[in-house]
Amino acid sequence: MHDLLTLPKAELHLHIEGTLEPELVFALARRNRLTVPFADVEALRTAYRFDDLVSFLDLYYACMDVLRTEEDFADLVTDYARRAAAQGVRHVEMFFDPQAHTSRGIPLDVVMAGLTEGIRRASALHDLSAGLIACFLRDRPVEEAHSTLDALAGHVDSLLGIGLDSAEVGYPPSLFTEVYRDARQMGLRLVAHAGEEGPPSYVWEAIDELGVDRVDHGVRVMEDSALVQRLQSDRMPLTLCPLSNVRLRVLPDLSFHPMQAMLSAGLVVTVNSDDPAYFGGYAGDNFVALAEDLPLGQDDFVLMARNSFDASFIDDDRRRELM
């Protein structure tokens, strides 16, 4: 089953800041003359252990402080692209968190220039297309999401869409209904994290109030049979992240993952890595881990890989090339 590692796939749930491997943290800190509050790479890797989403986010935001210049963001993308391409990723729609950078004084123009240069280099080096999805941090004030969207308007041609991430519980999607309405009017595609730690009601809000094109995570949807029915009849894609769910203790271990029940219910499921540097594996590793722990067949994996291309916002020329 290890050809699953390299089975051609699209990655639709990937935080580019979550691809920051400890080696790159130290390399960028050295380049930018910063000190890392860990003795060495091994000490930092040991800290990549979490009790829940918030305990992960604390380290995730702390580590990204080493990202300062255009070149840093470009290097982050090219490092990820090399690892992803080796695991069959042919197309990636990567999230980034503008507020996590602007709030510490890094201009949005620097972030955008670095990420787009990284994508240009990555597609020159590998058979890999890529696009960007700007996520709003749902645990920061809603007004800040509005002003961030205003700033993003100057970069709309470099974006596929918008998303919603960070600490979920207590921050329901409906808080962001107007932000999503404005983004839709700008021609952007819409996605949102929902049903990772938060309840199924957050997934209802994401589809009914935000009008999302895909739901990120949704691992908890099986708790609500009416929701499953709705997702199935809408053919609403879910971007699941199995290793993330185990590392963030959403599930005790992978044998508890509802993937098989989701497939049986006819849901459009995809397999993704979320924050691979922190969660122990890239896209292909997530396929392999599912195969090891769940009684899924080769046909299931081929279907999930096909779903990833179907559910992508890929342009028609690239879609014809890949499918």
Q: Residues annotated in the binding site for Zn(2+), as ranges?
A: 13, 15, 193, 274
Give min distance, CB of 125 to Zn ion, in A: 25
Buried b (16+ CB within 10 A) or exposed e, 196-223: bbbebebbbbbbebbebbbbbbbbbbbe
Q: Is 15 a binder of ligand ADE (CB under 6 A)?
A: yes
Contact letters (x/-) for ligand ADE, 130-169, by CB under 6 A? -----------------------------------xx---
274 binds Zn ion, rule: CB under 5 A: yes
Question: Among 274, 276, 296, 301, which residue interacts with ligand ADE (rule: CB under 6 A)?
Answer: 274
Q: How far apart are CA 205 and CA 211, in angstroms?
A: 8
Sequence letter at residue 266: G
Q: Give the CA angle between residues 182, 58, 197 to the nearest 5°.
A: 65
Among 70, 196, 205, 285, binds ligand ADE (CB under 6 A): 196
What is the C-alpha to C-alpha distance for residues 39 and 59, in angstroms, rounded to an integer?
15
Binding flag, residue 99, ligand ADE (CB under 6 A):
no
User: Minimal CB distance to ligand ADE: which residue?
Assistant: 165
Dihedral sign (CA 120, 122, 126, 127): negative
Name the binder of 79 from Zn ion, ligand ADE, none, CB < 5-8 A by kind. none
10 forms beta bridges with 91
Q: Which distant-in-sequence residues (6+ apart) come within 8 Å of 276 by Cβ?
A: 14, 18, 19, 80, 83, 243, 282, 283, 285
Min dist. Cβ of residue 113 to Zn ion (A): 24
285 lies in the site for ligand ADE, by CB under 6 A = no
Nearer Cβ to ligand ADE, position 53 or 311?
53
Residue 129 interacts with ligand ADE (CB under 6 A): yes or no: no
Q: Are 257 and 294 in contact (CB under 8 A)?
A: yes
Give the Cα separation of 269 and 280 in Å (integer).
21
Give the span between the Cα atoms of 152 and 23, in whole angstroms: 31
Smallest distance from the beta carbon of 138 to ligand ADE, in angstroms? 8
CB 88 within 8 A of CB 283: yes
Let me know: does 60 contact 275? Beta carbons within 8 Å. Answer: yes
Q: Which residues are annotated as a binding site for substrate?
A: 275
Instruction: Take residue 218 and report the two structure tokens written for it.
Output: 């949704």
Residue least distant from Zn ion (Cβ): 274
Q: How many residues bind Zn ion (CB under 5 A)?
A: 1
Active-site positions read 196
Of 68 and 308, CB closest to Zn ion? 308
Q: Which of 244, 273, 286, 312 binds ligand ADE (CB under 6 A)?
A: 244
Residues that bind Zn ion (CB under 5 A): 274
Q: Which chain residues interact with ligand ADE by CB under 6 A? A: 15, 18, 53, 60, 165-166, 193, 196, 244, 274-275
